Amino acid sequence: MNRKNAICNICTIRLVEMVYQRAPWFRLVREPLKYSMRWMAVVYRVNPGEYDVRTPSCYGCMRFYKLALKEKSGLFRFLNALVNPHFDALMERILTSEEVHLAETYARAAMLGEQVEQSQLEKEMNK
């Protein structure tokens, strides 16, 4: 099977972890969206296993579902265009620019196949 590449500019898993720590109520916003996306993935027979996973921490990332759904579903593309800008804006209001930068740094490392620990990222941020 030919594996597809997921291009990650920012680590969704890291962002969500940080948002959940800062604003536990955010689960009420994200979880319904996440489960709706998984339901659509079943309906459209999405296989997130088609994508190359570069680090163990990337397993289970919703990015794989999102990319595949964008390829297969016009309905998903429409809904994503409506919801995603508001979702991202909400997360950006909760997080600091340094935390967003941390998630970007983590994504760059993961794209290279490097497993980065949280303490290493924090050291890099403090440089």
Measured distance between the N- and C-terminal CA atoms of the chain, rounded to whole angstroms:
42
Q: Does residue 48 fall inside a structural domain?
A: yes
Record the tokens describing residue 123, joined without a space: 């050291």
Residues of the chain scoring pLDDT < 70: 1-2, 6, 114-127
pLDDT at 82: 97
Is the full-model pTM beyond 0.85? no
| Residue span of the structural domain in which 89 resides | 12-125
Q: Does residue 2 fall inside a structural domain?
A: no
pLDDT at 125: 47
Q: Does residue 83 fall inside a structural domain?
A: yes
pLDDT at 80: 96
Yes or no: say if 67 and 51 are a contact pair by the CB < 8 Å rule. Answer: yes
Yes or no: say if 57 and 115 are a contact pair by the CB < 8 Å rule. Answer: yes
Q: Does residue 3 fall inside a structural domain?
A: no
pLDDT at 60: 76
Total domains in the chain come to 1
pLDDT at 38: 94
